[in-house]
Chain A
Amino acid sequence: QIQLVQSGPELKKPGESVKISCKASGYTFTDYAMHWVKQAPGKGLKWMGWINTYTGKPTYADDFKGRFVFSLEASASTANLQISNLKNEDTATYFCARGDYAYWGQGTLVTVSS
């Protein structure tokens, strides 16, 4: 069956970096883009951008340009989200979602605290 499995929760200090993975299975990885969505605690969903899993080209929403990097390990059917120079406001659950939004990862909670 189709699954997106994300890496586990992270606790980081301000200024550190974090890398979240999203491993896809049950379909051809390069047939669909991978999107990333942020959900701050108790808040709504915010679209971060997407990566073309065939070409590797990322597209970032305006609020996520600069410290956020989407990447692939295509041979492993895995998409990654790296956030550098973490800030308190990056504390959130981050979801990956297949390009048709029919399948989502379970979410990865990133907590940024000194």
Chain B
Amino acid sequence: DIQMTQSPSFLSASVGDRVTINCKASQNINKYLDWYQQKLGEAPKLLIYNTNSLHTGIPSRFSGSGSGTDFTLTISSLQPEDVATYFCLQHNSGYTFGAGTKLELK
């Protein structure tokens, strides 16, 4: 089974900061990595699919990059509404979520 290691677990940043969250796969997952945002009490929301494709309606400050085993979600300029927990999901072989990154405002 493919394991996903997500870092950091917790992140505190200021409005306007550039924020990066990482996911590392235990083996090559090609481009099959998605990113989700989950606000408290809500269902997860798809942000980025297949490494770097922005889902419909998602602001352009969100972007994804990477390949193979190492992937990154970047928020170019943090907004207050971005406070949430972020998860990665690999779907190259089965499906495995990362453990999540809780993002808070400093």
Contacts and interface: CB of A to CB of B under 8 A. Distances in A.
A binds B: yes
Interface of A: 35, 37, 44-47, 61-62, 95, 97, 100-102, 104-107
Contacts of B89: 45, 47, 101
A61 B55 CA distance: 26
Given A101-B46, A107-B43, A61 B98 contact: no
Q: How large is the interface on B (under 10, 10 to 19, 20 to 34, 35 or more residues)?
A: 20 to 34
Contacts of A47: 89, 94-97
Nearest to A106: B43
B43 A61 contact: no
B99 interface: yes
B44 A95 contact: yes
B44 A104 contact: yes
A101 B87 CA distance: 13
Contacts of A107: 43
Contacts, number: 43
Given A46-B97, A47-B95, A101 B34 contact: yes
17 contacts: A44-B87, A44-B98, A45-B87, A45-B89, A45-B97, A47-B96, A47-B97, A61-B94, A62-B1, A95-B43, A95-B44, A100-B49, A101-B36, A102-B46, A102-B49, A102-B56, A107-B43
Given A61-B95, A101-B36, A101-B49, 19 more contacts: A35-B95, A44-B97, A44-B98, A44-B100, A45-B36, A45-B38, A45-B44, A45-B97, A47-B89, A47-B96, A47-B97, A100-B49, A101-B89, A102-B46, A102-B56, A104-B43, A104-B44, A106-B43, A107-B43
A105 B43 CA distance: 7
